[in-house]
């Protein structure tokens, strides 16, 4: 796709019903760090954010500032600090059952955000649990704690059986540089490709773009000459300068787009 010919919808922060800045400043969200690009968007709400870092399975023990700067009015804390915090949180934002269990002793309202279809979650975790069983566990637990579930796309919501609230992520074109395309090369942004080839239809991608110059950007330590952007500003310049953007994905495990695709459309 040529980037200047695409458009994106504004992020959900522009929706009606958002609290005033004065009200928001008195509220604090507790959020597990999952994907910096997604968590960063919460900054537009004007709430204070306590972001839990140092979680198991993360490739960095802290916030990855190569992905995004730390959101305004944020504090980076450990899981133990979150569990023991005296703050009365407006809401706790989790991303999976493990997160929910980690805050089971806290009393505040909780929201679970589904970023992957259930099938992709099982592949990612190398689990042999039946999809219906995992779905049942999440439904029962959310009912038990009185939590609420949203999904970032209808595909993901349907997969888990939660379709009432779909909250797509977005990118504001005003945050990005005007397209130039002076570098005659494609661009692909993805982390840990070797682990996610099944998700990304990598065999198809390699055949389709064989012989065409494509720059890959992301955390991929096992791929030669592939580096992550130095910062979000660096990523914006990279999106601005490359001729076109590429994304391929297994339709059974992913949507046909991701956050980087939406950024490319905004750039």
Segment 225-245, tens digit of pLDDT: 999 999 999 999 999 999 999
Alpha helices in the chain (DSSP H): 21-24, 36-41, 79-84, 97-102, 118-125, 131-145, 154-160, 197-200, 202-208, 232-241, 259-266
Residues of the chain above pLDDT 90, percent: 85
* CA dist., res. 123 & res. 70, Å (int): 30
pLDDT for the residue numbered 3: 41
What is the phi-psi region of residue 191: left when phi exceeds 0, alpha when psi lies from -120 to 50, beta otherwise?
beta
Strand-strand pairing, 28-32 and 91-94: parallel
Question: Average pLDDT of 30-53?
Answer: 96
pLDDT for the residue numbered 26: 86
Answer whether residue 25 shows pLDDT above 80. no
Answer whether residue 4 shows pLDDT above 80. no
Tokens matching residue 132: 């219906």
Task: Please report which confidence band the pLDDT of residue 5 belongs to, taking 50, 70 and 90 as the band edges.
Answer: very low
Vertex 198: Cα angle to 192 and 200 (nearest 5): 65
Average pLDDT of the chain? 92
Which residues have C-beta within 8 Å of that of residue 122, sequence separation ≥ 6? Answer: 129, 131, 134
Answer whether residue 37 shows pLDDT above 50. yes
Question: Average pLDDT of 104-109?
Answer: 97
**Chain segment 124-137, per-residue pLDDT in tens:** 888 889 999 999 99
Question: Average pLDDT of 149-175?
Answer: 96
Answer whether residue 85 shows pLDDT above 90. yes
pTM score: 0.88
Answer whether residue 14 shows pLDDT above 60. no
Q: Is the dihedral of CA 189, 231, 77, 263 positive or negative?
A: negative
What domains can be seen in the chain, in order of their start residue? Answer: 3-160 (3.40.50), 173-266 (no CATH)
Question: Average pLDDT of 184-197?
Answer: 97
Residues of the chain above pLDDT 70, percent: 91
pLDDT for the residue numbered 91: 98
């Amino acid at each position: 796709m040529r980037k200047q010919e695409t458009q994106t919808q504004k992020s959900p922060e522009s929706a009606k019903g958002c609290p005033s800045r004065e009200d928001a400043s008195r509220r604090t969200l507790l959020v597990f760090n999952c994907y910096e690009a997604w968590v960063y968007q919460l900054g537009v709400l004007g709430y204070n954010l306590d972001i839990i870092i140092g979680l198991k399975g993360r490739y960095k023990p802290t916030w990855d500032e190569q992905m995004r700067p730390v959101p305004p009015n944020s504090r980076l804390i450990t899981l133990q600090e979150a569990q023991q915090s005296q703050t009365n949180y407006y809401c706790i934002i989790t991303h999976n059952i493990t997160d929910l269990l980690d805050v089971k002793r806290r009393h505040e309202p909780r929201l679970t955000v589904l970023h992957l279809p259930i099938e992709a979650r099982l592949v990612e975790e190398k689990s042999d649990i039946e999809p219906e069983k995992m779905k049942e566990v999440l439904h029962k637990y959310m009912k038990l704690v009185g939590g609420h579930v949203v999904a970032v796309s209808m595909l993901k919501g349907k997969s888990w059986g939660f379709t009432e609230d779909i909250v797509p992520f977005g990118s504001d074109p005003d945050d990005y540089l005007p397209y130039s395309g002076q570098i005659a090369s494609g661009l692909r942004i993805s982390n840990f490709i070797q682990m996610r080839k099944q998700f990304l239809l990598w065999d198809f991608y390699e055949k389709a773009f064989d012989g065409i110059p494509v720059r890959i950007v992301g955390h991929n330590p096992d791929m030669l000459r592939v580096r992550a952007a130095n910062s979000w500003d660096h990523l914006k310049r990279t999106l601005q300068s490359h001729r076109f953007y590429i994304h391929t994905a297994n339709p059974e495990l992913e949507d046909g787009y991701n956050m980087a695709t939406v950024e490319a459309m905004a750039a």
